[in-house]
Amino acid sequence: MAGARSVEPLRFDGKVALVTGAGGGLGKAYALLFAERGASVIVNDLGGDIKGEGKCSSAADRVVEEIRAKGGNAVASYDSVEEGEKVIQTALDAFGKIDIVVNNAGILRDRSFARTSDLDWDLIQRVHLRGSFKVTRAAWNHMKNQKYGRIIMTASTSGIYGNFGQANYSAAKLGLLGLANTLAIEGEKYNIQCNTIAPTAGSRLTQTVLPQELLDALKPEFVAPLVVWLCHESCQENGSLFEVGAGWIGKLRWERTLGAIVRQNQQMTPEAVRDNWGQICDFQNAIKPKSSRDSLMTLYEVLNKLGTKQGISPNPTSGPLQINTSRINLAEAIGKNVPSSEYTYTNLQPILYALGVGMTTKDPDHLKFLFERNEDFSCLPTFGVIPAQGSMIDGLSSVPGLNIDFTKVLHGEQYLELYKPLPTSGTLKSEGTIADILDKGSGAVILMDVRTYHEGDLVCYNQFSIFVVGTGGFGGKRMSDKVKVTVQPPSRPPDAMMSDVISINQAALYRLNGDWNPLHIDPSFAAFGGFKRPILHGLCSMGFAARHVLSQYANNDVTKFKAIKVRFAKPVIPGQTLETEMWKEGNRIHLRAKVKENNEVVLVGAYVDLEDAAYQSRDNVTGMRRELQSDLVFAEISRRIKDVGKEMVKKVNAVLQWDVTKDGKMAAQWTIDLKSGSGELYKGAAHCPADTIITLSDEDFMQVVSGKLNPQKAFFSGKLNIKGNILHSQKLEMIFKEYAKL
Ligand code: NAI
């Protein structure tokens, strides 16, 4: 059903419209209609003959008189459009501004191509193409300053399709379309819109080529309403091309075949072009590119398909394009293995990666990641994504049933699990599989699992979640048990925070690890993706965050790292400050990464799982909150529960929740479950109703533990608050004395 339409007629009161070549034919019809609708009109016409020779003021004057006789407002302009400044000056002198320019003036000098003289060529280009340029350029800044403008270019079907004897005219007419396409882009932000029409109407230009009957039927009045509508302030059309005549209007656009890659590695031969000609020219499933960005993206996709070395990884954050050629065949794709890939590296690559995620010689702790002769020389755990990323880039394009448009691919999430520390050099073999495909409505999520082996041993597992925009709705499931899910952090304030200023060259450095997407280095490509500047790789932000966790909770010991999961929410721009907020829940460190300058969250639902997370954290890093002293005691209690949990359960038989405060605010929650099995200790509120909830400050806690403060006394003096079964407070002394010795 069509949307509600205004019944108000389209009016142009207060608007100033220039129509060039308005002394007759189409231009006259436009001028009359604009005037009838309230515009002040500049009727421009040189008054020459059809071939562009001679001049006369009467053509313009007659139209002005007709408008005035009907009560309209108009002035004449007799200058050639080649003198655009003068034409626009007439508008400014008469009405003080210019809102609408209809480039309509035209001549014909038809000749077969062989007989086309220089003059035939030049005059046509000068009147049509150069004249439209001159008039429009003279009006442009006025429109820009007033943030309003509507421009029409007049092309022709002769330019669009070609026409015998009109080589000069066809060239000029399609030149006008190119001009309009760019003006539409440049003018958009100033509310200047530019559209092109290819009209057909009876006029002195067509009277020699069309039979009289047709000339009479194809009235200019059947074209003018389109021009008037395109110039109305309520019309949002911009950069479009219309064929119009006899009261019919149609819109045109480009269509392109899916084409064929005919190159093999560095070789491309004429024979390969010949052999693929059918596919190159096959319009089945053809797409409709809308911008030069669409065109460029296709080339990047081609480079991608041609291989990792020269290839480019899928664009992680660029906005969706309008074209959609993606097709997914679930039965064919799910469970498919992608060709295995090998990644051979020396010490250089882990060092380059460490530099790529912000390791610096300023920090002595970082040396073991940057200096191959350091006795603890190690490879950062998140380097594990590097050997696997090749499988993803090449893999996706090789899977049958996954006919996806790489310009619509976003890297949504990443999971990495390590089974042993990564070797600092060697050859790693990666095997990828399409684990599952989800239908998220707005797009499809492809889960690609990649397992990476070193000398036959599994060293790490990656799950790439790839979102393909616009390919959803194929009736697939929304969730899968294969998904490594994101987990939200606790609602309390973060336990720790680390930050780094991302250096201006960070993305330039990180890409050397094999992600060659120009989005991260080339300003003009970034602009195509809608970014002011090249953006940091999502996996690089992940590397920073993982490094923060490793430093904060694992003393940079890579053997402690088990797994990481992140969802990429927004990009980071080099130069911004990345803040990693961390929450410790047992061996899981929840994290959230933000850009300090604008508070935008860039990594969400993220966590790192550690082996035996250290309860004592470093406190010498700027911006980090000191951990609580009580954390040490709980770490000790945790160890004792492992040793003598059964005995403790027998003696205490209660679930005790601890709310530890610092500076009057809740700083940590711990639960000691000594009720069932062999007992357990975990961070956070009790999972089942606690028998007793004890609240006290971190300092008082330490006093109690060290025996300097008796728990009962602390209770009566108000330092220790107990909710629930108060009798359990008597057991506290025992827990501390017997099990929490420091
Ligand atoms: P027309 O000959 O009736 O109108 C063109 C007007 O432009 C004339 O009044 C002429 O004096 C004026 N003119 C020529 N050179 C000028 C200059 N240097 N400066 C100022 N004015 C100048 O022809 P018609 O058919 O109304 O054409 C209007 C436009 O539509 C032209 O650009 C033409 O190429 C285009 N067109 C017309 C088609 C048709 O079927 N009538 C088909 C395709 C395009």
- The two structure tokens encoding residue 540: 């690089």
* Nearest Cα residue to 34 out of 230, 299, 196: 230
Q: Which atom of ligand 1 is nearest to the CA of 157?
A: 43
The region of weakest confidence among 320-324, 342-346, 431-435 is: 320-324
Q: Which atom of ligand 1 is nearest to the CA of 155?
A: 44
How many CB atoms neighbour CB 621 within 10 A? 15
The CATH number given to 330-610 is: 3.10.129.10
Q: How far is the CA of 205 from the centre of ligand 1 (A)?
A: 7
Express as a percent the part of the chain with pLDDT over 70. Answer: 91
Answer yes or no: is the C-beta of 206 below 6 A from any ligand 1 atom. yes
At residue 741, the pLDDT reads 53
What single DSSP character describes residue 533? S
Identify whether the C-beta of residue 421 lies closer than 8 Å to the C-beta of residue 428: no
The string of DSSP letters for 603-645 reads: EEEEEEEESS--SS----STTPPPPPTHHHHHHHHHHHHHHHH
Q: What mean pLDDT comes out for the span 124-129?
A: 98
d(CA 12, CA 372): 75
Answer yes or no: is the C-beta of 245 below 6 A from any ligand 1 atom. no
Residue-wise pLDDT tens digits, 57-82: 999 999 999 999 999 999 999 999 99
- The two structure tokens encoding residue 626: 């000191």
The region of weakest confidence among 193-197, 206-210, 588-592 is: 206-210
* Nearest Cα residue to 633 out of 524, 479, 480, 740: 740
Mutate to test the pocket of ligand 1, among 85, 161, 205 (most ligand atoms within 8 A of CB): 205
Q: Where are the domains of the chain?
A: 16-252, 255-324, 330-610, 629-739
Residue-wise pLDDT tens digits, 402-448: 777 666 678 899 999 999 999 999 999 999 999 999 988 778 899 99
The region of weakest confidence among 135-144, 207-216, 415-424, 543-552 is: 207-216
CATH of 629-739, one of 3.30.1050.10, 2.20.130.10, 3.40.1370.10, 3.90.1170.30: 3.30.1050.10
Query: Which strand (E) or helix (H) includes residue 132?
Result: helix 131-146
**Strand 443-454 to strand 457-469: parallel, antiparallel, or no bridges (unpaired)?**
antiparallel
Mutate to test the pocket of ligand 1, among 18, 19, 20, 26 (most ligand atoms within 8 A of CB): 26
How many CB atoms neighbour CB 117 within 10 A? 11
Q: Return the SS3 of 343.
A: strand
At residue 156, the pLDDT reads 97
Catalytic residue IDs:
169
Q: Which residues of 473-497 are buried (b: 16+ CB within 10 A; e: fewer)?
A: eeebeeeeeebbebeebeeeebbbb
Mean pLDDT of the chain: 87
Q: Which atom of ligand 1 is nearest to the CA of 59?
A: 9
Answer yes or no: is the C-beta of 166 below 6 A from any ligand 1 atom. no
d(CA 118, CA 317): 51
Identify whether the C-beta of residue 34 lies closer than 8 Å to the C-beta of residue 58: no
pLDDT at 313 over 60: no
Identify whether the C-beta of residue 692 lies closer than 8 Å to the C-beta of residue 657: yes
Answer yes or no: is the C-beta of 170 below 6 A from any ligand 1 atom. no
Q: What mean pLDDT comes out for the span 90-106?
A: 98
Q: What is the pTM of this model?
A: 0.53
Residue-wise pLDDT tens digits, 30-60: 999 999 999 999 999 999 998 888 898 999 9
Answer yes or no: is the C-beta of 16 below 6 A from any ligand 1 atom. no
**Strand 40-44 to strand 16-19: parallel, antiparallel, or no bridges (unpaired)?**
parallel
Fold exhibited by the domain 16-252:
Rossmann fold (3.40.50)
Fold exhibited by the domain 255-324:
Helix Hairpins (1.10.287)
Closest Cα to atom 4, ligand 1: which residue? 25
Answer yes or no: is the C-beta of 59 below 6 A from any ligand 1 atom. yes
